Amino acid sequence: MIQIRGLTKIYDGVPVLSGIDLDIKKGERIAIIGPSGTGKSTLLRCLNFLETPEQGEYVLDGKSIDVQKAKASQIKEMRLRTAFVFQNYALFANKTARENIAEGLITVRGEAKETAFERADEILRDIGLADKADAYPASLSGGQQQRVGIGRAMANNSELMLVDEPTSALDPEWVDEVLQLLTRVAQARQTMLIVTHEMAFAKEIADRVLFMEGGRIVEQGPPEKIFTSPDDLRTRSFLRKVL
Amino acid sequence: MRALDLDYMLGLLPILLKYLPLTLGMASVSMILALLLASLFAIIRVVRLPVLDAATRVFISFFRGTPLLVQLFLFYYGLPQLFSFLTAIDGISAAIIGLTLHFSAYMAESIRAAILGVDRSQWEAAKSIGMSTGQMMRRILLPQAARVAAPTLINYFIDIIKSTSLAFTLGVTELMGAAQKEAAGSFLYFETFIVVAVIYWAVVESLAFVQTQIENRLSKAVNR
Ligand SMILES: Nc1ncnc2c1ncn2[C@@H]1O[C@H](COP(=O)(O)OP(=O)(O)OP(=O)(O)O)[C@@H](O)[C@H]1O
Ligand SMILES: [Mg+2]
């Protein structure tokens, strides 16, 4: 569905992503694990054009986008095809839960407010927050905010959901409800790329696990393989530390 | 010290109050135009639009760096000598233009600072769902910046109201101009100008009250 070719991102002369190649198939759920500062977030951010990579291309349904020469229309297309769930939720502070979910439908996709709000209410029921439709983010718990964040990503029916450490900013008490919701999203075969430190969760939902270190994909494979008998020494030593 | 002529003061009050609508009208129109212009300048500066950014910077520097009175004279007496089509401009319009430009320069800086103060995550979330820069400004950043900038902007409105008194130097008979004429007839300068002062003071105090109300409302609505 989306192929990433030779993706390179450099900060201050230091490569943070060094020629990432990755094919993402429709319906595939990919977990990315790896030590801090290895470019996991950067990879997701590049796919959403929150960062402009120095080199590489994205191939969408056979059409290629050169990241350096991407036109505004191609950047927008990429953003519409991907939906970001942020570590710190990043809900619009001036909008209610319902408005947060409907915002993209109204402003970007030009839907009528009524239909967008209907869709938002449907999602709010689905994520168990129907009673919080009119609440502003500041009055929601971290777990509730992140669920709205996931709802916002669901609303856009994007092909690829990019989820960056969805629970690492949460108080422990809210982690489960967020992981449960994401598990349901994954079970609906939403294509997703999810960076997480929750290994049990990764094992449960992922079709494929990528281990990243130093801006490269060091090793990848099905979770059974990666978590039990990884080939690479670096994967092994990382897993020994976190498991 | 002689006694104050209280009868004169009481009689003067209704006469002067008739000019309050003009004062408030000029101030309100200037405020609205200045807000629009300042938002535009702030966006140009935040997004760093090439050329326009530099031009805006010079504009802001000029209008903050020179006295309002000088600017008003420049518009009313000076510019018509260069551009003949401006000779028709009346004192009220010249005052509104001057106040608008002058205060838009100050307000642009407050709005710019407020936009830059909005958490970076709000920009990223807006961009990530595919919003254009304009949409992001209008729907996400400006509303949040407005909340932060509101108290300062209301202070500028208070400043504008007081500054409309300078319009009398352009021959406009607003509150100050009317007082000037009354005083010239009665020679009771102290009585006249203390009444004018009290009227301005009362207006500003009521605004300060409204300001507190608005601030309370805003901080309750969306608290972050
Ligand atoms: N805007 C930036 N400017 C400069 N360097 C940056 C910037 N963003 C990230 N980096 C650097 O790029 C490297 C990769 O960062 P990234 O956030 O992608 O890592 P990560 O794998 O997501 O780490 P973590 O698990 O801590 O979230 C880090 O060394 C980081 O310091
Ligand atoms: Mg990260």
Residue B224, domain member (yes or no):
no
Q: B-contacting residues of A 154-193, CB under 8 Å?
A: 156
CA B109 → CA A189, B114, B120, B218, distances in Å? Answer: 49, 9, 19, 21
Band of the pLDDT at A39, cuts 50, 70, 90? very high
Please give the ipTM for the structure prediction. Answer: 0.92
Residue located nearest, by CA, to atom 16 of ligand 1: A39
Q: Read off the pLDDT of each residue in A223-234 and give the average, rounded to a whole number.
A: 91
Q: Is A76 on the interface with B (CB under 8 A)?
A: yes
**Residue of B128, B139, B141, B223 to mutate, testing the A interface (most A Cβ within 10 Å of its Cβ):** B128
Instruction: Compare CB distances from A50 to B127, B147, B221 and report the shortest one's residue.
Output: B127
pLDDT > 60? residue A72 = yes
pLDDT for position B216: 80
| Per-residue confidence (pLDDT) for residue B224, from 0 to 100 | 46
In chain B, which stretches have pLDDT less than 70? 219-224
Residue range of the domain that includes A169: 2-242
Q: Is the CB of A13 under 6 A from ligand 1?
A: no
Query: Hey, which of A12, A17, A40 would you mutate to test ligand 1's pocket, going by the most ligand atoms within 8 Å of its Cβ?
Result: A40
d(CA A1, CA A33): 22
- Tell which residue, B12, B63, B28, B6, has the closest CA to residue B180: B12
Ligand 1 atom with the shortest distance to the CA of A35: 25
What is the pLDDT averaged over residues A35-50? Answer: 95
Nearest beta carbon to residue B122 from set A93, A136, A138: A93
Tens digits of per-residue pLDDT, A170-191? 999 899 999 999 999 999 999 9
- Quick check: CB of A29 below 6 Å from ligand 1? no
Domain that holds residue B92: 6-218
pLDDT in tens, A138-150: 999 999 999 999 9
Spatial CA neighbour of B58 closest among B112, B105, B107, B116: B105
- For residue B11, being part of any structural domain is answered with yes
Inside any domain, residue B19: yes
CATH (domain of A213): 3.40.50.300
The predicted model gives A31-50 an average pLDDT of 95
Asked if residue A67 lies in contact with residue A12, where contact means CB atoms within 8 angstroms, the answer is no
Give domain status of residue B43, yes or no. Answer: yes
Which pair of structure tokens corresponds to residue B180? 């000037």
CATH of the domain at B183: 1.10.3720.10
Asked if residue B223 belongs to a domain, the reply is no
Q: What's the confidence (pLDDT) of residue B196?
A: 94
* Number of domains within chain B: 1
Confidence of residue A16 (pLDDT cuts 50, 70, 90): very high
What mean pLDDT do residues A193-214 have? Answer: 94
The predicted model scores a pTM of 0.85
Please give the tally of structural domains in chain A: 1
Ligand 2 centre from A34 Cα, in Å? 10
Percent of chain A with pLDDT over 90: 91
Mapping DSSP onto H, E and C, the string for B53-92 reads HHHHHHHHHHHHHCCHHHHHHHHHHHHHHHCHHHHHCCHH
**Closest residue by CA, ligand 1 atom 24:** A36
